C-alpha cells in the first residue's frame, strides 16, 4: 500500500528557518514545530503521530530533529513502524521499517546517542555562559512574564477568591509561575 510522504520539521527558535530542512525533498504534508527537542511534548509532533498511517513514510531531515533523547527517538521510531509507517532520516540516509537489521538498530542507537550528547553539551555551555555573565554582573535572567500592574491585578483577583488554574490560563502563565508571583508578595 502506497501512503503519504509526511515531513516533520523542528526548529528550536522562532528566528530559525524551517524551510531548509526538507528543501528539495518531496513530501505530501509537512508538520512544523518551533520548539526544543528536549522532550516529545510538541503540538505538531502530536499531530503527525495522529496523522501517520500504515503505508506512510515519515521524513525528517535528521534524527535530532525528531528527538534529542535516545529513549524518545527509539520510542517514536518504534511507534511509527509498529503502525506500518516507515521513518526516513535524510541526512543520515537511513530508513526504518520495523523489520530492520541489527546494524540499522545499532545506527539508530549510536546516532541517537550523539544527538542526546549534543543536547547535553549545549545545556552545559549555556550554564557556563550564565555563570560567567552572573560573575560579570550582566546576567538579567529571563524576562518577567507579567508586568507589575498585571501582578497586582492577579494578586487582587486571587484575594477576591478567583481560582488559580483559570487565572493562570487567562494570564498565559503556568500555575507554578502564578504561585511564584504569590510567594513573592509574602
Give backbone dihedrals phi and psi of 4, rounded to 5 degrees, phi first: -80, 150
Question: Could you confirm whether 12 is annotated as catalytic?
Answer: yes
Residue 111, C-beta contacts closer than 8 angstroms, at least 6 positions apart: 63, 89, 92, 94
Residue 9, C-beta contacts closer than 8 angstroms, at least 6 positions apart: 18, 21, 22, 30, 31, 32, 33, 60, 61, 65
Give backbone dihedrals phi and psi of 135, rounded to 5 degrees, phi first: -60, -40
Instruction: Give which of 108, 34, 15 is closest to 69, Cα–Cα.
Output: 108
Of 12, 62, 101, 174, catalytic:
12
Enzyme catalytic residues: 12
Amino acid at each position: 500500500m502506497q501512503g503519504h510522504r509526511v515531513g516533520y520539521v523542528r526548529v528550536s527558535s522562532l528566528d530559525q528557518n524551517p524551510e531548509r530542512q526538507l528543501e528539495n525533498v518531496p513530501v505530501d504534508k509537512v508538520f512544523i514545530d518551533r520548539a526544543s527537542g528536549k522532550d516529545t511534548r510538541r503540538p505538531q509532533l502530536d499531530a503527525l503521530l495522529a496523522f501517520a498511517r500504515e503505508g506512510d513514510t515519515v521524513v525528517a531531515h535528521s534524527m535530532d530533529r525528531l528527538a534529542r533523547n535516545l529513549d524518545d527517538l527509539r520510542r517514536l521510531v518504534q511507534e511509527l513502524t509498529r503502525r506500518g509507517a516507515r521513518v526516513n532520516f535524510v541526512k543520515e540516509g537511513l530508513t526504518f521499517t520495523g523489520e530492520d537489521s541489527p546494524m540499522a538498530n545499532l545506527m539508530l542507537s549510536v546516532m541517537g546517542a550523539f544527538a542526546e550528547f549534543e543536547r547535553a553539551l549545549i545545556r552545559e555551555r549555556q550554564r557556563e555562559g550564565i555563570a560567567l555573565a552572573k560573575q560579570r554582573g550582566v546576567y538579567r535572567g529571563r524576562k518577567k512574564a507579567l508586568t507589575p500592574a498585571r501582578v497586582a491585578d492577579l494578586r487582587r483577583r486571587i484575594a477576591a477568591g478567583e481560582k488559580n488554574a483559570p487565572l493562570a490560563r487567562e494570564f498565559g502563565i503556568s500555575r507554578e509561575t502564578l504561585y511564584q508571583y504569590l510567594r513573592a508578595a509574602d
